[in-house]
Structure 1
Amino acid sequence: MVDVMRWDVMLGSVVYAVIGVVVLCVSFVVIDKFTPYELWEEIVEHKNMALAIVVAGMFIAIGQIIAAAIHG
């Protein structure tokens, strides 16, 4: 019988996904510390759409870097 689900591959994918999300969150916190204001407060409470677009671009760029590092 052919084993369709390889549990080692699935576990590796889950581990890399968790590591990627953690690195993405840590990078947001680090960039938040370098800015002169609180990013989350500025985006959520003050509804700063331009800053939200910049942060979204940052997430996409860092996500691509993480994916390239994981993929090799």
Structure 2
Amino acid sequence: MKRNVGKIDATVRIGAGVVLAVLAVFAAWGMLTVPVVSTLGLGTIALVLIVEGATRRCLLYRALGIDRCPVD
């Protein structure tokens, strides 16, 4: 699959994923009060954002026909 996420977008996704992962860990340890489902949801979203940022490929962008990646 062709890359469709630019460098800045990828960096933002990785940063946001790390922040959400930290929040999920805090919630799992009981330092942050959220429902259990929300903790799993935060972890899942964090993982998806980190993988999308690292690979610079987004399935939602592909489905919508969006291409934010300049020619490499």
TM-score between both structures, scaled by the size of structure 1: 0.39
Q: Tell me which structure has the larger Cα radius of gyration.
A: 1
Task: Decide which structure has greater helix share.
Answer: 1
TM-score between both structures, scaled by the size of structure 2: 0.39
Task: Point out which structure has higher relative CO (alpha carbons under 8 A, 6+ apart).
Answer: 2
